[in-house]
Structure 1
Amino acid sequence: MCRNTGTTRARSPFLLILQSTLFKGFDRRVVIPMTLRSVLPREVDSKLCPAFVIEGQVVLLMPLEITNIPGERLGQVVMSLRDEAETVIAAVDWMMNRGWD
């Protein structure tokens, strides 16, 4: 996970790099914004948007805002969510494959 250096950094101070390191030769990175819980107007589905505490701030994974950015625009690496991989994968899977009504 790295700092968001873009225009959305006040709302989403961190970006989770979703892309496997197998593709590090590409110049873009697939990322998911980590948005401050305090800026969201309402409760969100915790299965889709799990919460994490990063540097003392509660942030939510926002899979519906998945995007890609040039690798050189990534900010400083803050930490790894490798130990939370199953939670992240489950949220992305819920968005893509299981969240049907």
Structure 2
Amino acid sequence: MVESSTGGYPIPITVEFTGGLELLFGNERKHKVVLPAQLEDGSPPNISYLLGYLVDNLMQDQRKDMFIMEDSVRPGVLVLINDADWELEGEDAYELQAGDTIVFVSTLHGG
């Protein structure tokens, strides 16, 4: 990998969507994403940054509110960081590491 101009090496991660969320992302469940090592303010990318990145770069459906609410995942969306509930990892403040797998699972069902 090549060191970025902002310092450090890019961070490759895997993002997966299940439970119907994949419909918002081109009907693809698994995405390989490469994030910058540092953000413009010098901090490392975290889940909060990833959420904005996903909406701006991968989301193909205009119904952003089906995934994001008030700059976080909407209620009813479970987030797993390397198979652990994100609440155990610091939620949206978790700093992403190379090789992480982030899974978003919708638990909402129509009826």
TM-score, normalised via structure 1 length: 0.31
More strand by share: 1
Q: Give 1 or 2 for the bigger CA radius of gyration.
A: 2
